[in-house]
Amino acid sequence: MPSSNKRPRKGGAFVGRPSELGTLLADLRKAKGLSLRDVEEAAAKAVSNAYLSQLENGKIGKPSPNVLYSLAEVYGVPYDALMEKAGYLLPAENGGGRRKRLAVFAIDDLTAEEEEELLRYLAFLRSRSSS
């Protein structure tokens, strides 16, 4: 029986393409000559081999930034490249400049009221720092 205490999840479009991210992760792992279990061990079990398999097959759409960081460390690739592929960052224009963040934090279960309150607080903080 579903619990009525659950908050409704905020809907949001996924900007990255999970299949592209999965393909990239599989290619990186194979290029390093690593098995799924090798990656799990190299990541100090921060990413299980089962989870990585699901990522590589596009069954998990939006891995957490923590998972992406661990994988970037294991594969020796820039963290921001994986964040971009996962849809957390917009591509830098003309290959230069500062990347724009799509998500400052990864909280998927904010209610509309909570999101609005966070945006008001952010506006307040920015108004204080520009004074």
Q: What CATH number does residue 50 fall under?
A: 1.10.260.40
Q: pLDDT exceeding 90 applies to what percent of the chain?
A: 32
Quick check: is 106 in a domain? no
Backbone angles phi, psi at 101, to 5 degrees: -85, 135
Report how many domains make up the chain. Answer: 1
Quick check: is 51 in a domain? yes
Residue 11 has pLDDT above 90, yes or no: no
Quick check: is 90 in a domain? yes
Quick check: is 63 in a domain? yes
Residue range of the domain that includes 55:
18-95
Quick check: is 105 in a domain? no
Looking at the whole model, is its pTM more than 0.75? no
Q: Which residues contact 52 (CB under 8 A, 6 or more apart)?
A: 25, 29, 36, 39, 40, 71
DSSP 94: G
Quick check: is 11 in a domain? no
Give the model confidence (pLDDT) of 62-95 as tens digits. Answer: 899 999 999 999 998 888 888 888 888 766 554 4
